[in-house]
């Protein structure tokens, strides 16, 4: 894969084609290429001698793609950070990453201004830099290539601190080559982008789309919050390729008008980020009889996804829990027991991923890297913490080994949420219980021992705590239900007895 060459090609042969359309704002391939070159030249001059990664802060704006490409053309990795992420968490990312440049197509939040003496450029200043360096470009030998980091995505960490997953150019190249060769994708197609850029599911649509000269059609959080606007946007999208979590598709399926009549050009559904329920796939195939549905699997640490399967009528009939498919050709999938020994087909164990998709580890965190990344069969390998098994040549997922869960496509650590709950002014202790239905996490319940307070009603206390929690956690990590108890039962070794707690609160 030569991503830079491909984008340059489209800028030359189809300069006015729209590369991204977001809430009425568009950016052509010519603009994407020339603006990213100019901004990269600016970065090379202003940040000379400092190759620290660059934070790009925003929510699906076209200018974010310009900043991504400018960063890597200047020889620096980018760190995508969505505006929905609480500012305290953004500060932790800034601290951990050592970023020296912060770019945003919007404005810098007041609490982040001048933080850590990081150079910060807002929309107007970015555009001024692009105008000042118009026609310039950095030397191509500066571009991120090979094992150099292309992007760093921060995920939930069990200590309460987010951890940065390093993805190299080679990792991304392997992923994009697989996407454009194995999924029937075509040049100049229109791709749905539902995931914020700070969520690595977005990589599944952004880079295959740009590689193929397509158009990215974004669905912002404002649209998702307003069903009328959402369906108007989908109707206008004329998309060929749908990429999302299963949960987002399930939400759309609740409306009968979500069908091939609304999206007549739709050819391909790509799902990742959480389990695809059999019933959801069945409904999609009924509503969109001419579209193919792919189920994929992979952690952020192995570059978005590493297995896939086309969901057929036969698979729907035979497997109530759908397979996640077979591995891409440069990846190995192994199921091992607690001693690291491979198990027989049909037996459950931990999923180990090896090969070209595996990250080099967590940014500036050798301790966590050494726990999860290792060599296996002389290949780079990652311990996923996911439970799985193989059957009839396919991989199946069966939950998590630890307290890490997936909810609505977002991966999160139960322990991190608990750590933030314990910081609240009126919380003595806390345990978070995931509530499952049909092997899928539906929501989170926070079981709390409160401190003395003056609220008369529990719902008043809950509203107060949720407001506090919004300053510490993204909305998708905030528990749906709050239950109050006088004490938390303990196991013999002094840990919270999670099983007993779940039983006591009726989960």
Q: Is 297 annotated as a binding residue?
A: yes
21 known member of a binding site: no
The reply to whether 255 sits in an annotated binding site is no
Per-residue DSSP letter, 325:
B
Q: In the chain, what are the helix, strand and coil shares in percent, each to the nearest 5?
A: 35, 30, 35
Task: Confirm if 400 and 420 have CB atoms less than 8 A apart.
Answer: no
* 506 marked among binding-site residues: no
495 is in an annotated binding site: yes
Q: Does 300 appear as a known binding residue?
A: yes
141 is in an annotated binding site: no
Confirm if 432 and 479 have CB atoms less than 8 A apart: yes
How far is the C-alpha of 469 from the C-alpha of 86, rounded, in Å? Answer: 10
Q: Any known ligand binding at 484?
A: no
268 assigned binding-site residue: no
Contact in structure between 482 and 446 (CB atoms under 8 Å)? yes
Query: How far is CA 363 from its chain centroid?
Result: 17
Distances 98 to 53, 109, 300, 441 between C-alpha atoms, Å: 7, 19, 21, 35
**Residue by residue, what is the 3-state secondary structure of 118-145?**
CEEECHHHHHHHHHHCCCCCCCHHHCCC
Comparing CA positions, the residue from 166, 78, 89 lying closest to residue 372 is: 166
Q: Which of 404, 314, 311 is nearest to 351 (CA)?
A: 404
Q: Which of 470, 475, 85, 410 is closest to 247 using CA atoms?
A: 410
Is position 233 annotated in a ligand binding site? no
* d(C-alpha 218, C-alpha 244), whole Å: 11
243 annotated as belonging to a binding site for a ligand = no
Task: Tell whether 391 is in a known binding site.
Answer: no
The β-bridge relationship of strands 119-121 and 101-103 is parallel
Phi-psi region of 292 (alpha: psi -120 to 50; beta: other; left: phi over 0): beta
Annotated binding site for ATP: 155-156, 295-300, 386, 495
Binding-site residues from annotation: 155-156, 200, 295-300, 304, 386, 495
Residues making up the binding site for D-alanine: 200, 304, 495
């Amino acid at each position: 894969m030569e991503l830079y060459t491909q984008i340059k090609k489209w800028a030359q042969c189809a300069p006015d084609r729209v590369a991204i359309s977001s809430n009425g704002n568009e950016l052509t391939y010519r603009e994407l290429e020339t603006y990213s070159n100019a901004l990269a030249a600016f970065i090379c001059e202003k940040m000379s001698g400092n190759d620290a990664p660059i934070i790009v802060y925003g929510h699906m704006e076209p200018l974010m793609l310009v900043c991504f490409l400018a960063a890597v053309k200047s020889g620096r990795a980018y760190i995508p950070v969505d505006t929905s992420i609480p500012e305290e968490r953004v500060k932790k990312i800034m601290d951990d990453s050592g970023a020296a440049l912060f770019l945003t197509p919007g404005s810098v939040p007041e609490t982040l201004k001048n933080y850590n003496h990081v150079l910060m450029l807002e929309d107007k200043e970015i555009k001024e830099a692009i105008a000042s360096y118009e026609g310039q470009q950095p030397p191509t030998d500066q571009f991120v290539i090979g094992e150099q980091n292309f992007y760093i995505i921060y995920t939930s960490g069990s200590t309460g601190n987010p951890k940065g997953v390093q993805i190299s150019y080679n990792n991304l190249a392997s992923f994009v080559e697989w996407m454009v060769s194995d999924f029937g994708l075509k040049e100049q197609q229109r791709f749905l982008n539902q995931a914020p850029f700070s969520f690595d599911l977005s990589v599944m649509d952004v880079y295959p789309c740009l590689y193929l000269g397509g158009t990215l059609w974004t669905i912002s959080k404002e649209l998702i919050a307003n069903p009328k606007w959402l369906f108007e946007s989908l109707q206008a999208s004329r998309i060929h390729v749908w990429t999302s979590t299963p949960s987002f598709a399930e939400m759309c399926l609740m409306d009968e008008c979500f069908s091939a009549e609304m999206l007549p050009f739709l050819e391909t559904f790509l799902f990742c980020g959480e389990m695809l329920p059999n019933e959801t796939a069945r409904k999609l195939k009924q509503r969109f009889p001419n579209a193919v549905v792919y189920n994929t699997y992979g952690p952020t640490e192995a570059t978005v996804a590493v297995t896939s399967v086309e969901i057929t009528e036969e698979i729907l009939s035979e497997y109530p829990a759908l397979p996640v498919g077979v591995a891409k050709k440069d990846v190995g999938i192994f199921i091992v027991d607690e001693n690291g020994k491979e198990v027989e087909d049909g037996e459950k164990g931990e999923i180990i991923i090896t090969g070209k998709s595996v990250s080099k580890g967590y940014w500036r965190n050798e301790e966590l890297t050494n726990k999860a990344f290792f060599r296996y069969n002389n290949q780079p390998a990652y311990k996923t913490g996911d439970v799985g098994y193989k059957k009839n040549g396919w991989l199946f997922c069966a939950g998590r080994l630890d307290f890490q869960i997936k909810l609505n496509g977002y991966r999160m650590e139960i322990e991190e949420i608990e750590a933030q709950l314990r910081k609240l002014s009126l919380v003595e202790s806390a345990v978070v219980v995931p509530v499952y239905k049909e092997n899928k996490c539906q929501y989170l319940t926070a079981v709390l021992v409160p401190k003395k307070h003056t609220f008369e009603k529990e719902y008043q206390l809950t509203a107060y705590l949720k407001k506090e929690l919004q300053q510490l956690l993204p909305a998708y990590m905030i528990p749906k239900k709050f239950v109050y108890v006088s004490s938390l039962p303990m196991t013999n070794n002094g840990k919270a007895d999670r099983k007993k707690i779940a039983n006591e609160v009726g989960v």
